[in-house]
Chains A and B, each alone.
Chain A
Amino acid sequence: MSLGKFGHYNPDKPMQGRVTDVGPRYYGEMFPDIIIRNYGKWLYHEILEPGVLVHVSETGEKVYTVRAGGCRFMTVEHVREICDIADKYCDGCVRFTTRNCIEWLVDSEEKAKALKEDVGSRKHVGGSLKFPVGGTGAGITNIVHTQGWLHCHTPAIDASGVVKSVMDELYEYFIEMKLPAKLRVSLACCLNMCGAVHCSDIAILGYHRKPPIIDDEVIDKVCELPLVVAACPLGAITIAKTEVKGVKVNTVKVKEERCMFCGNCYTMCMATPLADKEGDCIVLLAGGKISNRLSPPKFSKVVVPALPSNPPRWPEVSATIKRMVEAYAKDARKYERLGDWAERIGWERFFEKCELPFTEHLIDDYRLAYDTYRTTTQFKFTEAAWAVSKAVGGI
């Protein structure tokens, strides 16, 4: 920009020739011609095969879309390759989906076949596919995820690494459409839940298990203490006075038995770090959705309180998720999302079928918890329930 028509950027006069508030480019500028001609005139669409869609317009024109997985964190070199493909097949047009897949649009089936053949065979040096074609229909598409150890300062786990491990394990579901309904997997590396973990069929969430350590020496200089106090959802933080090297300073005190390790105080104040190699773990949630199809949108619910964060492959996480997906694929009815399935069979059955242990960590105890308890005698006996009964000398 500094070399553009407004001249070089001059650090002595930063406001000179400054362009501001111009917003993003108008999206219509980047439309392929065929989209401009048929905008607002689409009649119907079909999924021809995993990763390939066709949209038919009332003008009779057809648009073929080839969808490929993207790694989201991309180098410029990789984006240039995407552009080269777009230049070769699609007159230079390409788009990204809301789950960070890449879509190339062409106007004939032959072109779509050739394009799929081409992009599907491109590989990185290490052997992994650059553009695996898929992500459509009742399968598992890209994982919406966050920054992790790559760039953020509050994560409890990594993002890209976990996503790569899990997608490797679930790859067959990306390139095929063999589930009862679509299954959305998301990841957030801390409880801020940037992205979609609170409303995904299966969600991976980074979690701390130790309270923050207060750096009394600098806290009053670098933090606004009332904000730290107000950041705590449980009122575990209070203002305190202490002595550092003979000097009286203001600081905060954490009531450790009230702390649930959310890390909000660290977001507001860098003098209360709580990341910990052994303590930080992965929580799995399940059963959320955002569409209104058949049932209203749902929040996802915690089903696994803690799995170890084991870089670089996180084997426990991939294995547990795979188990849940397989149990769902085997048992759910057509069109049933994971949350619909769990609610129909009952969550006690969900835990049994997914072979997940139920522990006290999963019982809600935050403010409006009461509504999540069972206030009915309607329930199914499960093996786990019988085991408790037997352990206390019952039937």
Chain B
Amino acid sequence: MAEVEHKGKKFEVDEDGFLAGGLDVWEPDWIDYVKTIEGIEELNDEHWKCIHFLQDYYRTHGIAPMVRIFSKVTGYKLKHIYELFPSGPGKGACKMAGLPKPTGCV
């Protein structure tokens, strides 16, 4: 596994840049790093609402939510989620939240 360094902090990541240690090793500095590669300038409340929801859902259910659940609970349409996270809910939001990399035929 590769390691990335951001402002003196080191994170272990896989080849797609997802946090290798998962939610256990997640910390707010990780978000600070991911937003630089995702093209997000500053996180607003809506970003945080998404990230907190993803993390809560993952802790409760052990999986990332389906897009429709994500959309319904946060109240953001898919289009708006893409505006918040340009890479989308999987590659963008889940990566920031420290969830495992989406799998299957993606």
Physical interaction between A and B: yes
Residues of A within 8 A of B (CB): 12-15, 192, 220-227, 267-270
B20 to chain A, nearest CB (A): 7
A220 to chain B, nearest CB (A): 7
A192 x B104 contact (CB < 8 A)? no
Please, which residues of chain B bring their CB within 8 A of the CB of A270? Answer: 103
Please, which residues of chain A bring their CB within 8 A of the CB of B42? Answer: none
Q: How far is the CA of A226 from the CA of B61 in the complex (A)?
A: 8
Name the residue of chain A whose CB is nearest to the CB of B24.
A221
Contact of A15 among B22, B58, B86, B100 (CB under 8 A): B86
A222 x B14 contact (CB < 8 A)? yes
Name the residue of chain A whose CB is nearest to the CB of B63.
A224
In the complex, besides A225-B62, A267-B103, 15 extra interface pairs with C-beta distance below 8 angstroms are: A12-B39, A14-B39, A15-B86, A192-B105, A221-B20, A221-B21, A221-B22, A221-B24, A223-B100, A224-B100, A227-B103, A267-B105, A268-B104, A269-B103, A270-B103
Please, which residues of chain A bring their CB within 8 A of the CB of B63? Answer: 224-227
A267 to chain B, nearest CB (A): 6
Contact of B62 among A12, A221, A226, A268 (CB under 8 A): A226
Please, which residues of chain B bring their CB within 8 A of the CB of A268? Answer: 103-104
Q: How far is the CA of A270 from the CA of B14 in the complex (A)?
A: 12
Contact of A222 among B22, B58, B61 (CB under 8 A): B22
A264 to chain B, nearest CB (A): 9
Q: How far is the CA of A224 from the CA of B64 in the complex (A)?
A: 8
A192 to chain B, nearest CB (A): 7
Q: How far is the CA of A92 from the CA of B56 in the complex (A)?
A: 57
Give 20 pairs: A residue, B residue, CB < 8 Å, sorted on A.
A13-B39, A14-B39, A14-B86, A15-B39, A220-B22, A221-B24, A222-B14, A222-B20, A222-B100, A223-B100, A223-B103, A224-B58, A224-B62, A224-B63, A225-B62, A227-B63, A267-B105, A268-B103, A269-B103, A270-B103
A197 to chain B, nearest CB (A): 16
What 0/1 pattern do residues 51 to 80 of B give for CB contact below 8 A with A? 000000010011110000000000000000
A230 to chain B, nearest CB (A): 9
Please, which residues of chain B bring their CB within 8 A of the CB of A267? Answer: 103-105
Name the residue of chain B whose CB is nearest to the CB of A264.
B104
B101 located at the interface, meaning its Cβ lies under 8 Å from any Cβ of chain A in the complex: yes
Q: How far is the CA of A15 from the CA of B38 in the complex (A)?
A: 10
B22 to chain A, nearest CB (A): 4
Please, which residues of chain A bring their CB within 8 A of the CB of B21? Answer: 221
What 0/1 pattern do residues 80 to 106 of B give for CB contact below 8 A with A? 000000100000000000001101110
Please, which residues of chain A bring their CB within 8 A of the CB of B104? Answer: 267-268
Q: How far is the CA of A269 from the CA of B39 in the complex (A)?
A: 28
Name the residue of chain A whose CB is nearest to the CB of B39.
A14
Q: How far is the CA of A12 from the CA of B86 in the complex (A)?
A: 13
Name the residue of chain A whose CB is nearest to the CB of B12.
A221
Q: How far is the CA of A267 from the CA of B105 in the complex (A)?
A: 8
Q: How far is the CA of A12 from the CA of B35 in the complex (A)?
A: 11
Q: How far is the CA of A268 from the CA of B105 in the complex (A)?
A: 9
Q: How far is the CA of A223 from the CA of B39 in the complex (A)?
A: 26
B101 x A222 contact (CB < 8 A)? yes
B105 x A221 contact (CB < 8 A)? no
